Amino acid sequence: MLKKPVYMDNHATTRVDSRVLDAMLPYFTEKYGNAASRNHSFGWEAEEAVDRARNQIAALIGAKSKEIIFTSGATESDNLAIKGVVEFYKDKGNHVISCVTEHKAVLDSCRALERAGKATVTYLPVDKYGTVDPDAVRRAITDKTVLITIMWANNEIGTIHPIAEIGKIAKEKGIIFHCDAVQAIGKVPVDFEKAGVDLASITAHKIYGPKGIGAIYVRSKGPRVRLTPQMDGGGHERGMRSGTLNVPGIVGLGAACEIAGMEMPEEAQRLIQLRSQLQAGLFERLDEIYVNGHPTERLPGNLNVSFAYVEGESLLMGINDIAVSSGSACTSATLEPSYVIRALGIDDELAHSSIRFGLGRFNTLEEVDYVTDRVSKEVKRLREMSPLYEMAKEGIDLKSVNWKS
Amino acid sequence: MAYSEKVIEHYNNPRNVGSFAKDEPNVGTGVVGAPECGDVMKLQLKIGDDGVIEDARFKTFGCGSAIASSSYVTELVKGKHIDEAITIKNTVIVKELNLPPVKIHCSVLAEDAIKAAIADWRKRRGDNFASGEQPLRAKEA
């Protein structure tokens, strides 16, 4: 029996895996020590748990355990990486290279630095698949460049950037390379050491762990990366991030990383199959639908589709027992659709028509079939109601119409 | 964001969806909005020689509130004289459908659609003057 509502928004967040929760629970009630307490068994027990988690995380991402610094999540990690590097290396330069489709936590950290007069930022464009060109990164480098920040995989369209190529360029030029790897770790193989990534943001809640806990990978050798801390306090985490460690959360992040690493080969295959089934089913039933993002270089669980002539928010309303998300922003004051979809150069109308399906560990084939059926029917119903669909069927080129808005 | 019950009701059971034959002389068509803004409404009014709106049809590309606003408008204008229909304010729609502030533009669009449809009908009537029909332009002036 299919349980509703169906959750298919796993890029937004994920359900905590019961194995992760089981690992965490003792650290709330029995093993509640402060990992910084050095003189009793409660503290030692907590510290051991934190060390174990560091090892579990490091093993998933090609890092050494001491290179893991715990934070409250990816937004904090992004802020710490970008602001921390620019402030620490201010005598070396003040130029940052980023990309237009980055997460808001990255873009807004960059903008904050620009506003404060601490940095100038180049935001590189992407191609029609949402991929940044490594040569464009190379060309954007100046003698003032101190940081490159490019995400591993995009949260809306799932496109995976050529990170190792960018890492190679960064190494060649001696520039620090930060990577928001939130959507990638645990989903696709990630090795920061090999990819030449110097700093990376990760978070637990995208990989079936708890919310409110994340980490930043900080390379310790070749080069040893330094950061100006963004919070003052007890000097925890090698002075980079003060604050009592969230031991249950850290245990959860560690367990989530270990499970994701163990299951990744089979799970990625399973998700690719589910996604192919969803995509094929929608294409079978509907004409004029378009996949946004890269056809192959994309996250296994991601499918972003534009359903021409149907506005995304109204589609979501029609499929209200399915949790997905839309690139439409009919509720925002600007009425502008997703900046990520727009960056692909597709028409705004198609951007308004985009839906992101985020498949995850707990989705089933039965759910995929249900979603395919439900979405197709609703798209058909809304197209019957759509003046644009009618005009298109009459052979009117919508671009030639002089819209009075 | 939660939708009001009335918006959901209109969205699930939209009234008067469809189109009249394009070239019917007694039909006025108003198309407002733009695809890149995420909202396009097409409202068609069938208007008698006496200026009374006999029937209405709509098609809308837009969010649930835009669909509900146009659906409600088709009900609202039916039976009304165009002189009255043209004075319908978006606030009536906002109130009926309990639209939140971010959705007020949907009601404005619906108001514009009424005006555009009536203007189109008047224009067509004017064009038909030569064929012996009562010119309504004189009345406007």
Residue with tokens 């060109």: A133
Token pair belonging to A320 = 């209200």
Tell me the CATH number at A49.
Answer: 3.40.640.10
Query: Which residues in chain A are closer than 8 Å to B36, comparing Cβ atoms?
Result: 347-349, 352, 403
Q: What is the mean pLDDT of the segment spanning A194-213?
A: 98
Query: Which residues in chain B are closer than 8 Å to A403, comparing Cβ atoms?
Result: 33-36, 40
Residues A288 and A306 in one domain: yes
How far apart are the C-alpha atoms of A122 and A125, rounded to whole Å?
10
3-class SS of residue B134: coil
Query: Which residues in chain B are closer than 8 Å to A314, comparing Cβ atoms?
Result: 11, 62-64, 66-67
Confidence of residue B135 (pLDDT cuts 50, 70, 90): very low
Residue of B nearest to A319 (CA): B12
Residues A121 and A244 in one domain: yes
The tens digit of pLDDT for each residue in B50-67 reads: 999 999 999 999 999 999
Alpha carbon distances (Å) from A328 to A117, A303, A350: 33, 16, 9
How far apart are the C-alpha atoms of A227 and A240, rounded to whole Å?
7
Residues A242 and A151 in one domain: yes
Confidence of residue A331 (pLDDT cuts 50, 70, 90): very low
pLDDT over 80 at A327, yes or no: no
Predicted local distance difference test score (pLDDT) of residue B129: 42
Q: What is the mean pLDDT of the segment spanning A69-84?
A: 98
Q: Is B121 on the interface with A (CB under 8 A)?
A: no
Residues A347 and A215 in one domain: no
Residues A148 and A212 in one domain: yes
Query: Which residues in chain B are closer than 8 Å to A338, comparing Cβ atoms?
Result: none
The tens digit of pLDDT for each residue in A249-295 reads: 999 999 999 999 999 999 999 999 999 999 999 999 999 999 999 99
How far apart are the C-alpha atoms of A399 and B46, rounded to whole Å?
28
Predicted local distance difference test score (pLDDT) of residue B140: 40
DSSP 8-state class, residue A122: E
Residues A152 and A194 in one domain: yes
pLDDT over 80 at A75, yes or no: yes
How far apart are the C-alpha atoms of A89 and A350, rounded to whole Å?
42
Residue of B nearest to A389 (CA): B61
Predicted local distance difference test score (pLDDT) of residue A335: 60
Domain of A114? Answer: 18-260
The tens digit of pLDDT for each residue in B99-118 reads: 999 899 999 999 999 999 99
pLDDT over 50 at A129, yes or no: yes
Predicted local distance difference test score (pLDDT) of residue B125: 84
**B29 sits in which H/E element:** strand B27-34
3-class SS of residue B103: helix
Predicted local distance difference test score (pLDDT) of residue B137: 44
- In a domain? residue A1: no
Tell me the CATH number at A391.
Answer: 3.90.1150.10
Give percent above pLDDT 90 in chain B.
Answer: 77
pLDDT over 60 at B139, yes or no: no
Give percent above pLDDT 70 in chain A.
Answer: 98
Q: How far is A15 from chain B (nearest CA, A)?
A: 22
As a three-state string, the secondary structure of A258-276 is: HHHHHHHHHHHHHHHHHHH
Predicted local distance difference test score (pLDDT) of residue B128: 52
Residues A113 and A197 in one domain: yes
Residues A175 and A115 in one domain: yes
- In a domain? residue A29: yes
Picking from A202, A226, A260, the residue at the C-terminal end of a domain is A260
Counting one residue from A and one from B, how many pairs have CB atoms under 8 Å apart?
Answer: 93
Predicted local distance difference test score (pLDDT) of residue A1: 80
3-class SS of residue B45: strand
Residues A314 and A375 in one domain: yes
- In a domain? residue A270: yes
- In a domain? residue A405: no
Residues A208 and A296 in one domain: no
Token pair belonging to A394 = 């009459």
Which residues, including other chains, have CB under 8 Å from residue A20's CB and lie 6 or more apart?
Answer: A208, A209, A210, A252, A255, A256, A259
Q: What is the mean pLDDT of the segment spanning A369-379?
A: 98
Q: Residues B106, B114, B116, B118: which is the catalytic one?
A: B106
The tens digit of pLDDT for each residue in B13-47 reads: 999 999 998 778 899 999 999 988 889 999 999 99
Q: Is residue A246 within 8 Å of residue A203, measured between CB atoms?
A: no
Q: What is the mean pLDDT of the segment spanning A136-158?
A: 98
Residue of B41, B43, B61 to mutate for A, most A C-beta atoms under 10 A: B61
Q: How far is B47 from chain A (nearest CA, A)?
A: 21
Residue of B7, B10, B36 to mutate for A, most A C-beta atoms under 10 A: B36
Residue with tokens 């209109």: B10
- Annotated catalytic residue B63: no
Picking from A229, A260, A291, the residue at the C-terminal end of a domain is A260
- Looking at every residue in chain A, the average pLDDT score rounds to 95
pLDDT over 50 at B132, yes or no: no
Residue of A288, A306, A309, A311 to mutate for B, most B C-beta atoms under 10 A: A311
pLDDT over 70 at A405, yes or no: no
Residues A288 and A333 in one domain: yes
- In a domain? residue A319: yes
Number of folded domains that form chain A: 2
Q: Please report, in angstroms and rounded to a whole number, the separation of the first and last CA atoms in chain B.
A: 46
Residues A293 and A237 in one domain: no
Predicted local distance difference test score (pLDDT) of residue B136: 47
Residue of B nearest to A327 (CA): B38
Domains and CATH numbers, chain B: 5-123 (3.90.1010.10)
Predicted local distance difference test score (pLDDT) of residue A72: 98
User: What is the CA B87 to chain-centroid distance, rounded?
Assistant: 12
Predicted local distance difference test score (pLDDT) of residue B131: 40
Picking from A232, A260, A288, the residue at the C-terminal end of a domain is A260
